[in-house]
């Protein structure tokens, strides 16, 4: 009984939600009618805060608190704080994700508003670059995706990877930086 009570008390409060978010210089935050709005040098964002979370801007910090002690309020407390923290960070510095093309003849180039990928198919793969992101080819086999939203940068990197997923025998394909490709041994004679 005592162990169960201690377990509940340990997980009774969000460890993420209780930390306030510092507002960097050059970023303005406004909170009205349940919507948190931010503007910075990289753009702007709007986020509707869940109704079970109280939000306030105090002394250059964004503070979150649950409305009550329900499970939904406690879980949304940390979730809202995490989403807003990454959005505020994106207003002052861009998120980046590097994608490597591994394979003979695999190349990438930016042509106008399109990313053209040569991935071993009979045709080139043409990917239209979204307006909110910037895509640059550092080399013919390295593509850097940068943008204000961490979620959006990761989403586009995964979408590019779907054109040629990494294969386990030769390790060829579109590979995200830091991703480990599990290699298999081929047939033996």
**Same domain for 99 and 88?**
no
Question: Does 150 fall in a domain?
Answer: yes
Question: Does 2 fall in a domain?
Answer: no
Q: Are 18 and 66 in contact (CB under 8 A)?
A: no
The edge-to-edge listing of strands for the beta sheet with 61-66 is 21-22, 61-66, 53-58
Task: Say if pTM beats, i.e. exceeds, 0.85.
Answer: no
Q: Are 69 and 21 in contact (CB under 8 A)?
A: no
Question: Does 8 fall in a domain?
Answer: no
| Six token digits for residue 162 | 């779907």
Between 39 and 187, the higher pLDDT residue: 39
Q: How many domains, in total, are found in the chain? A: 2
CATH of the domain at 123: 3.90.930.12
* Domain end marker among 50, 72, 92: 92
- Model confidence pLDDT, tens digit, residues 93-142: 999 999 999 999 999 999 999 999 999 999 999 999 999 999 999 999 99
Cβ neighbours, 10 Å, residue 115: 21
Whether 163 shows a pLDDT value over 80: the answer reads yes
């Amino acid at each position: 009984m005592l162990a169960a009570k201690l377990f509940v008390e340990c997980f009774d409060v969000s460890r993420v939600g209780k930390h306030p978010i510092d507002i960097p210089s050059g970023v303005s935050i406004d909170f009205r009618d349940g919507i948190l709005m931010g503007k910075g040098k990289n753009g702007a964002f709007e986020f509707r805060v869940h109704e079970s979370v109280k939000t306030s801007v105090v002394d250059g910090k964004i503070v979150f608190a649950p409305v009550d002690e329900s499970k939904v309020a406690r879980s949304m407390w940390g979730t809202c704080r995490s989403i807003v923290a990454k959005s505020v960070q994106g207003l002052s510095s861009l998120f980046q994700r590097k994608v490597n093309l591994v394979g003979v003849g695999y190349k990438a180039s930016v042509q106008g508003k399109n990313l053209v990928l040569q991935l071993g198919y009979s045709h080139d793969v043409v990917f239209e670059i979204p307006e909110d992101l910037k895509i640059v080819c550092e080399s013919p086999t390295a593509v850097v995706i940068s943008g204000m939203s961490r979620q959006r940068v990761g989403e586009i990197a995964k979408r590019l990877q779907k054109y040629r997923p990494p294969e386990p025998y030769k390790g060829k394909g579109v590979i995200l930086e830091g991703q480990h490709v599990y290699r298999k041994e081929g047939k033996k004679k």
